[in-house]
Every structure is written in structure tokens, then in C-alpha cells.
Amino acid sequence: MFLKNYILDIYKAIKSLLVGLRRTGYYFTHHKEIITQQYPDNRATLSLPERFKGEVVMPHDDNNEHRCTGCTACELACPNGTIKVITQFDITPEGKKKKAIDKLVYHLELCTMCNLCIIACPSDAIKMAQTFEHSVFDRSELTKILNKPGSKIMDGVE
């Protein structure tokens, strides 16, 4: 009985090995079907899936203007406190007080890339970027201010 099981195990192992080798041999002759990426050697040609999410960012235009009104909807939508919106009051040309963003603080180290903040933003002020090489030696570097220094809100965004 023991010998029978022993031989059976060897048979199964060889069969499993051949199945694996068959698959390997297949890819030797079907290079275009290989989906494994040779990262990091292929940085220049790396292809990420369209829906891959790597980081929340706030786009700015050539005039250093963004679309963030400081409404805090993203902060409220975030399930784990990754975003903190710090607001201030600007004075409009008409002399009225208007709420504006001071800093949008984003803790990348907490972000689960759930996309809820992006969906909640009524002004399309933030989006997901596909950057993903986020390793740092100092964790504080993962706390980012998304609005650039000296930036302001675009005209017409309320």
C-alpha cells in the first residue's frame, strides 16, 4: 500500500511538472500573449490599466489655477480622514468675503484609492493619477499639499 501511494505521488508530481512546462513552452512561442511586466526595467514602456489609481492629485493649468472651491465635500466623503481641507476667507473685488482654499492636505499613506473623494467633488478639482512609486524613507513626505504654492481658483468656478 505504501509503495503504491509512493509511486502515485511521483506520477502526480511529474504530471504537474509537465503541465507547468507545457504552459512555459507555450509562451516561448507566443511572446505577444505574455502579460507579465518586467518592472522596473520597462519603466519607459510600462503600461498600466486605465482604471489603475495611484494617488489623488489636483490639476493646475498654465496660470497656476485650480478648480477647488474649498467646499470640503471630498473631506466629508473620505472614509478614513485622508483629506483635510483648510479654508480661509478671500475678499472679492466687490469687497465681500468668499470662502477659499488655503491648503488641501492629503495623507497618501492613509489613502485606500477608493475614489470616493473624486466622485464627491462638485468642481472636478481633483482626480486620480497613475503615479505609484511612492516609497520614501521619511513617512512625513507622504503628506502632501495638493494646491500648489501661489495658486488660485480659476475664474468662473464657484
Q: Which residues bind ligand SF4 (CB under 6 A)?
A: 56, 68-74, 77-78, 80, 82-83, 85, 111-117, 120-121, 123, 125-126
Whole-number minimum distance, CB 137 to ligand SF4, in Å? 23
Whole-number minimum distance, CB 9 to ligand SF4, in Å? 48
- Decide if 62 contacts 148 (C-beta within 8 A): no
Choose between 95 and 156: whose C-beta lies nearer to ligand SF4. Answer: 156
Longest CA–CA span in the chain (Å) reads 95
Choose between 15 and 114: whose C-beta lies nearer to ligand SF4. Answer: 114
Whole-number minimum distance, CB 151 to ligand SF4, in Å? 12
Choose between 25 and 59: whose C-beta lies nearer to ligand SF4. Answer: 59
Whole-number minimum distance, CB 107 to ligand SF4, in Å? 8
Whole-number minimum distance, CB 66 to ligand SF4, in Å? 8
Residue with cell string 500500500? 1
Choose between 9 and 109: whose C-beta lies nearer to ligand SF4. Answer: 109
State the DSSP H helix or E strand holding residue 2, giving kind and residue range, or none if neither.
helix 2-29
DSSP SS3 for 97 = strand
Cβ count near 154 (within 10 Å): 15
Choose between 14 and 145: whose C-beta lies nearer to ligand SF4. Answer: 145
Residue with cell string 507545457? 22
- Decide if 135 contacts 127 (C-beta within 8 A): no
90 - beta bridge partners?
Answer: 98
Q: How far is CA 64 from the centre of its chain?
A: 23
